[in-house]
Amino acid sequence: MSSLNLDDFTDLIERPDGGVRRDAEARREHRVVPPGTLGRLDDLGEWLAAAQSAVPVRPVERPRVVLFAGDHGIAELGVSRRPASSAAELVRAVLEGGRPVSVLARRLGVPVRVVDMALDCDPATLPADVVRHRVRRGSGRIDVEDALTLEEAEAAFRAGVALADEEADSGTDLVALGDLSVGGTTPAAVLVAALCGTDASVVTGRGGLAIDDLAWMRKCAAIRDALRRARPVLGDQLRLLAAVGGADLAATTGFLLQSAVRKMPVILDGVVSAACALVAQRVAFRAPDWWLAGHASGEPAQAKALDRMALEPLLDQGVRVGEGVGALLALPLVQAAAALAAELPEQPEEKPEEEPEDAPEGTPEEQQAQPEGRPEDSGTV
């Protein structure tokens, strides 16, 4: 029996400050550029002001990329073009600076934090700060067994909560959230289908490496079988994550909820973070107000989840690589919105026109009819 009460998050999470947002909107009306000419950048700046409870909005100066890593047993069925149990290779490549997220993070000056929750490798082969939160070695094959025990799901969820607290306490002012997994899009699709009440075929995508038709059919069948196992536990989000999620997904869900508690904005990456966000929304309906959708990944399950949460992607560049790249690409857009909202000057106030001090009274006709002066005023006798 779990000692974790997810209902507490409903009371702990508040919406971003509506009064501050209205102040930010009022400030926009007086800027030198006409309202509406900056499009969504205006909305982004006002959203960030409300999240910070500050007008003018403060610049985003201490962002962080957080990536939860894990292997999924369902990858054994060939639902991914990557070999099963190979997520540790991705983690090492990120740490060594050889992945897209590493290149972008270096260019933008953003630190990357990788958290091993369920990699299928010897923990001694990775740095201690990466593996210290690991719950188990790999997650179960969700078409025939639970991904985790309930105790493991709770431990992973609590790890995500603790990591959100660590980031907030260290001064992180925005998180780009992603995953490093093999097979992770399959449990993500199961969660979205279960929570949205759709069939497996509606949410089955082709993953980051674009699987072929045969692999797509295997993936669709795996999602269908896992959905049968998910439906009986739909009313308990922790049991749902244990049954058809995984340790990295449970940790991501806990991280998202606690980030909302701590009023720390988050940019979601792809389908995995979107699926976890959908689970978190079921826990606390106000939580999505603290998140942005970084980009459209092309995965149908991501589109379904974002639509359910009324989150519109900031970018659509066809990026499918995962690992937080889409969220990181959206970061400069958010920073630009903050800079424009804070630094654009307001229009100078127009001064009313003043009438000349010595202007003669009367109309021009009256002025012409008036005598120029009496004889006694002329100085003659």
Predicted TM-score (pTM) of this structure = 0.89
The pLDDT of residue 298 is above 70: yes
Q: For residue 122, what is the domain's CATH number?
A: 3.40.50.10210
Q: Quick one: tokens of 381?
A: 């006798």
The pLDDT of residue 377 is above 90: no
Determine phi and psi for 70, rounding to 5 degrees. -175, 155
53 inside domain: no
Residue 370 per-residue DSSP state: S
Q: Quick one: tokens of 171?
A: 């001064």
Active-site choice (323, 350, 357, 376):
323
Give, for 153, the enclosing helix (H) or strand (E): helix 150-169
Q: Quick one: tokens of 123?
A: 């923990």
Residue 378: pLDDT band with limits 50, 70, 90: very low
Neighbours of 173 (CB within 10 A): 19
Residue type, 5: N
40 inside domain: no
Average pLDDT, the chain: 91
378 inside domain: no
What SS3 class is residue 33? coil
pLDDT one-digit tens code per residue, 66-98 = 999 999 999 999 998 899 999 999 999 999 999
Contact 113, 210 (CB under 8 A): no
> pLDDT at position 51, please?
96
Residue 375: pLDDT band with limits 50, 70, 90: very low
Contact 289, 192 (CB under 8 A): no
pLDDT more than 90, % of the chain:
81
Higher-scoring residue by pLDDT: 374, 143: 143
> pLDDT at position 3, please?
75
> pLDDT at position 19, please?
94
The pLDDT of residue 120 is above 70: yes
> pLDDT at position 225, please?
97
Our count of domains for the chain comes to 1
Give the range of the structural domain holding residue 204, as residue numbers without chain letter.
8-15+62-334
> Among positive and negative, which fits the CA dihedral 288, 289, 294, 300?
positive
- Measure the CA–CA gap between 322 and 295, rounded to whole angstroms: 11
Neighbours of 249 (CB within 10 A): 35
Query: How far lies 87's CA from each of 72, 102, 138, 153, 203, in Å?
Result: 9, 16, 10, 20, 23
Residue 303: pLDDT band with limits 50, 70, 90: very high
> pLDDT at position 29, please?
84
356 inside domain: no
276 inside domain: yes
| Residue in this structure with the two tokens 């690991």, named with its chain if needed | 134
Neighbours of 342 (CB within 10 A): 18
Q: Burial of 321 by CB count in 10 Å (0-12 exposed, 13-18 middle, 19+ buried)?
A: middle
Contact 144, 291 (CB under 8 A): no
> pLDDT at position 368, please?
58
- The alpha carbons of the chain give a radius of gyration, in whole angstroms, of 29
The pLDDT of residue 277 is above 80: yes
pLDDT one-digit tens code per residue, 46-57 = 999 999 999 999
The pLDDT of residue 128 is above 90: yes
> pLDDT at position 330, please?
97
Q: How many helices (H) and strands (E) does the chain have?
A: 16, 5
Nearest to 328 by CA among 115, 100, 165: 100
The answer to whether residue 323 is catalytic is yes
What SS3 class is residue 251? helix
Residue 178: pLDDT band with limits 50, 70, 90: very high
pLDDT more than 70, % of the chain:
91
288 inside domain: yes
Contact 284, 257 (CB under 8 A): yes
> pLDDT at position 380, please?
43
178 inside domain: yes
> pLDDT at position 363, please?
55
Contact 126, 91 (CB under 8 A): yes
343 inside domain: no
The pLDDT of residue 354 is above 70: no
